[in-house]
Amino acid sequence: MLARVAEFPGGHGMDQTVLFVLFLLAMLVAWFGPRPLAAAFFGIALVLTVADFFHHATTALTLSF
């Protein structure tokens, strides 16, 4: 989902970078802008982070200790 936003030519997505920038934007808006807008950016970034986690965590790891 988020990997289609920005991709390297080799096919490696930049979804984590987009999420980091969204959280950075939320922090900057919280510092300089209105609080409701900052909360909205933070909520969007949080929901997209959970969606990105479920996108990447699709297979179980077979670990033996």
More confident residue, 12 or 30: 30
Question: Which domain covers residue 13, as residue numbers?
Answer: 2-52
Q: Name which residue leads in pLDDT, 63 or 25.
A: 25
Decide if 1 contacts 51 (C-beta within 8 A).
yes
> How many structural domains comprise the chain?
1
29-36 mean pLDDT: 95
pLDDT value of residue 62: 83
- Tokens standing for 25? 């934007």
Q: Taking residues 14-42, what's their average pLDDT?
A: 93
Whether 62 maps to a domain, the answer reads no
How buried is 46 (Cβ within 10 angstroms: 0-12 exposed, 13-18 middle, 19+ buried)?
middle
The reply to whether 30 falls in a domain is yes
Cβ-count burial 23-37 (b if 16+ within 10 Å, e if not): bebbeebeeeeeeee
Q: What is the pLDDT of residue 23?
A: 95
Beta bridge partners of 13: 7
pLDDT confidence tier of residue 36, bands split at 50, 70 and 90: very high
